[in-house]
């Protein structure tokens, strides 16, 4: 049974968002699917950068806004970073291999709403909210035992 709970974390500046991404990346051995929600420009890609850089050492992480998917090798696995903002219908997902990724890879999805019905229960969902110019909050929903590690 999935014992989900919610944790709220205050992010006072960009660096705090990157550190949260780094900390979330330590959970990949227990959870492989991370959804990042929040309005345009709130900091979703910044969070993903902290996550991916920590695991891969790659520093210039780009936004997958136009390709929809960017991948990074991680040992014998793959990190799949999606941005589904430009996806107009859930039919288009056949072009971007998302079901395969959800079953086999480490997956980070910005704008996951359009494929919500494909997502498994075992995932972590982070919703970023803008409070002030640099101040964000992160509402994180996922397995309680994992959230306790953050």
- Residues near ligand ATP (CB under 6 A) are 11, 13-14, 17, 38, 40-46, 63, 83, 110, 134, 136
Segment 54-59 long-range contacts (CB within 8 Å, at least 24 positions apart)? 54/21, 54/22, 54/25, 55/25, 55/28, 55/79, 55/106
Nearer to ligand ATP by Cβ, of 51 and 142: the residue is 51
Q: What 3-state class would DSSP assign to 130?
A: strand
- Provide the CB-side half-sphere exposure for 41 (13 A, CA): 4
**Residue 60, Cβ density class (10 Å: 0-12 exposed, 13-18 middle, ≥19 buried):** exposed
28 binds, among ligand ATP, Mg ion, none (CB under 5 to 8 A by kind): none
Task: Verify binding: residue 14, Mg ion, rule CB under 5 A.
Answer: no
Residue 41 binds which entry of Mg ion, ligand ATP, none, with Cβ cut-offs from 5 to 8 Å by kind? Answer: ligand ATP
Instruction: Give the nearest residue (CB) to ligand ATP.
Output: 43
User: Where on the phi/psi map is residue 111: left (φ > 0), alpha (ψ -120 to 50), or beta?
Assistant: left
Min CB(23)–ligand ATP separation in Å: 14
By CB under 5 A, how many residues form the interface with Mg ion? 4
For residue 48, give the H/E element and its range: helix 44-56
DSSP single-letter state for residue 61: P
Minimum CB–partner distance for residue 107 and ligand ATP (Å): 16
Instruction: Report how far residue 82's alpha carbon sits from residue 114's, in angstroms, rounded to the nearest whole number.
Output: 12
Q: Which is nearer to ligand ATP, 32 or 136 (CB)?
A: 136
Indicate which of Mg ion, ligand ATP, none lies near residue 134 (CB less than 5 to 8 Å, by partner kind). Answer: ligand ATP
- Work out how close the CB of 141 gets to ligand ATP at its nearest, in angstroms, rounded to a whole number: 18
- The listed partner (ligand ATP, Mg ion, none) that binds 92, CB under 5 to 8 Å by sort, is none
């Amino acid at each position: 049974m999935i014992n989900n709970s919610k944790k709220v974390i205050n992010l006072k500046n960009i660096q705090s968002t990157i550190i949260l991404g780094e900390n979330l990346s330590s959970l990949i051995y227990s959870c492989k699917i991370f959804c990042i929600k929040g309005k345009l420009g709130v900091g979703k890609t910044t969070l993903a950068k902290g996550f991916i850089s920590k695991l891969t050492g790659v520093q210039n992480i780009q936004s997958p806004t136009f390709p929809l998917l960017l991948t990074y090798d991680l040992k014998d696995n793959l990190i799949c970073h999606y941005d589904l903002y430009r996806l107009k219908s859930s039919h288009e997902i056949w072009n971007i291999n998302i079901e395969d990724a959800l079953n086999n890879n480490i997956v980070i999805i910005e704008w996951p709403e359009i494929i919500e019905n494909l997502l498994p229960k075992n995932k972590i969902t982070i919703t970023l909210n803008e409070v002030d110019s640099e101040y964000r909050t992160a509402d994180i929903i996922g397995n309680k035992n994992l959230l306790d590690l953050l």
